[in-house]
Structure 1
Amino acid sequence: MRKNFIVYKVKYLTVILATKYSEVWDLITGLTRKINKDTDKALEQIGLSYFEFKVMCALEEEGKVPMSRIAEKYMLTKAGLTSIIDRLEEKELVRRVRSESDRRVIYVELTEKGREKLMESRKIFLNVLSSFLSKLSEDEIKELERIFSKLFS
């Protein structure tokens, strides 16, 4: 009888832990969705979507890169990324360049107009982030940084 109690207790604790982890995960993903949604809405003012902004950030960080690398980085399908790049190209914010060594490879790079739009959109993104993080004290922000650094290590 005692043995069954221990097994039950272990299963019960496992359920409690799983529930707690799930609650934390829901909070993290919920916050991410809220920030993305608010950013998307704010970026609409300047004619960009959240994913267009993220792709432009990747291009600025990495320079001229193959489309496949961007798709991998943001877990986008090739079709989804092509659609985003098409829209950015229509707005003259990026350009496609075929590889000289391998015609199958297409690179994407920011145009000068794209760099200017990215600077403008970064300010909007920082305002959105600020609206969330300004609710925290300096100590809470440091603690949040510490926790996320620990999770990423």
Structure 2
Amino acid sequence: MMMKNFIVYKVRYLTMILATKYSEVWDLITGLTRKINKDTDKALEQIGLSYFEFKVMCALEEEGKVPMSRIAEKYMLTKAGLTSIIDRLEEKELVRRVRSESDRRVIYVELTEKGRERLMESRKIFLNVLSSFLSKLSEDEIRELERLFSKLFS
């Protein structure tokens, strides 16, 4: 009985250590993501964009004219949250809404010419923020980081 209790205790202890290690790694990953998002948001303020407005514009450039529901799904945004972002972008004349001719319930969103220009400008800002983080790593460390993240995503 004494040995069984010892083994149970040891398993719980090792599980706790492992969970703590995973938690520390998770905290580092999410902390870095928050820091990059915050720094990007702050840098994009100079051209009147938020980080999420930038991400939505990137999605529109990648996919072209796209239903709002697909953007909301891609970035895990609520419909209300996305509507708010699209409203702001439309106010700035960076995107336009277009109703589907085949199904009037479907609303597409697309970048305007002004939106494409602003996106090019904002990409430069984003790359500056990103390089401020990644410049701390060597080329080998960057490749290793890429390899590790690719492994986690597979």
TM-score by length of 2: 0.98
Shift of 1:66: 0.4
Distance across 2 between alignment mates of 1:145 and 1:76: 26
Counterpart residue number, 2:60 = 59
Rounded Cα–Cα distance in structure 2 between residues aligned with 1:91 and 1:78: 20
* 1:54-106 residue CA offsets vs partner (Å, 9 max, x unmatched): 00000001110000010011111111100100000011100000000100000
Identity fraction in percent: 96
Task: Give 1:139 deviation, angstroms.
Answer: 1.0
Q: How many pairs does the alignment contain?
A: 153
Superposition RMSD in Å: 0.5
Cα distance in 1 between the residues matched to 2:51 and 2:147: 27
Q: Give the CA deviation at 1:146.
A: 0.8
Unaligned runs of 5+ in 1: none
Cα offset, 1:3, TM superposition? 1.4
The 2-side partners of 1:58 and 1:6 are apart by: 52
TM-score, normalised relative to structure 1 = 0.99
Post-superposition Cα deviations, 1:35-66, rounded to whole Å, max 9, x if no partner, equal: 00000000000000000000000000111000
Distance 2:16 2:102 in 1: 56
- Deviating 4+ runs (over 2 angstroms): none
Counterpart Cα distance in 1 of 2:31 and 2:50: 19
Q: Tell me the SS of whatever aligns to 1:101.
A: coil
Give the gaps of 5 or more residues in structure 2.
none
